[in-house]
Amino acid sequence: MTKVVVDAGHGGTDGGATANGILEKEYTLKIAKYINNRLKELGIDSSLTRDSDITLEPTNRVNKALSLYGSGSDVILLSNHINAGGATFA
Ligand SMILES: [Zn+2]
């Protein structure tokens, strides 16, 4: 059965994008918790890389994600961000 790792982007000392008093890390955590709870309600195995405002350096974030369900083809990593714009898509 598919398992989902839900990653709340940023956190701790890394606030992510900011505008108008909004911090990206706060919303990514709220979104990640909502998704994680909803997946569990649907009977899908789901876990968070963080469930509080902690700093996860890139290597630690990857290791945390891998520690939850491994790296099999039945694992989905869903990392959420709220970008501030300026991105271009090819
Ligand atoms: Zn971001």
Separation between Cα atoms, residue 62 and residue 59, nearest integer Å: 5
**Distance separating the N- and C-terminal Cα atoms of the chain:** 33
Domain containing residue 28: CATH number: 3.40.630.40
Examine residue 28 and state whether it is found in any structural domain, yes or no: yes
Ligand 1 center–CA 55 separation, angstroms:
13
Q: Is residue 71 part of a domain?
A: yes
Chain centre distance of CA 27: 10
Per-residue pLDDT tens over the stretch 20-41: 888 999 999 999 999 999 999 9
Distance 71 CA to ligand 1 centre (A): 23
User: For the whole prediction, is pTM greater than 0.85?
Assistant: yes
Burial (0-12, 13-18, 19+ Cβ within 10 Å), 1 = exposed
Give the pLDDT of residue 26.
97
Residue 33 resides in a domain: yes
Of 59, 40, 74, the residue nearest 49 (C-alpha): 59
> For residue 70, how far is its CA from the centre of ligand 1 (angstroms)?
24
Q: Which domain holds residue 42?
A: 3-80
Number of domains in the chain: 1
Cβ atoms of 6 and 35 within 8 Å: the answer is: yes
Q: What is the pLDDT of residue 87?
A: 64
> Is 87 part of a structural domain of the chain?
no
